[in-house]
Amino acid sequence: MYSMRKISGIEKFVHPAVIHQTLVKEDSRNVEIWMQTSQPGKPTPTHYHSGEEILIVLKGTGWCQVDGKQIDFGPNSVLTVPAYTPHKICTTGDEEMQAIAVLETPVEIFNRAGEPIQLPWPYGKTPGTLEPTPSEVS
């Protein structure tokens, strides 16, 4: 269905480390699109998706670890992470990172153990297996 919506009018899910908005879901037959604003120093757990993920970084800096390699990125960058590829992402510096994520549907997310998990990450909210371990944070 044709639609136009203002991002300011889309519900914001405010979590300790990330503000999440779902920009597109029902209106697409092949992607979900998210807007996320992430705080520095709070890496995601290592996770993978059943579909590919594309991240368009509008503001801020960070790193992404894939296959044991860490790649730093700044604002105005595009990252692509193929399906079933474990990765983790962290915002660095003093600024928040604002990024648009384009995710192939259906969006299914798994932790390193292959257990399904859901975004946004429950930082500081539900301590447990979803929290980054000290070795992941370091």
- Asked if 118 and 18 count as a contact pair (C-beta separation under 8 A), the reply is no
Read off the amino acid at residue 59: K
108: left (phi over 0), alpha (psi -120 to 50) or beta: beta
79 is a site residue for its own copies (CB under 8 A): yes
Please give the Cα distance from 99 to 34 (Å, whole number): 8
Query: Can you read off the two tokens belonging to residue 70?
Result: 């860490």
Residue selected from 11, 14, 68, 76 as contacting its own copies according to rule CB under 8 A? 76
Q: Nearest distance from residue 51's CB to its own copies, in Å?
A: 8
Q: Nearest distance from residue 119's CB to its own copies, in Å?
A: 19
Q: What residues make contact with its own copies under the rule CB under 8 A?
A: 1-8, 10, 23-24, 27-31, 33, 51-52, 54, 56, 58, 64, 66-67, 71, 73-74, 76-82, 85, 87, 100, 102, 104
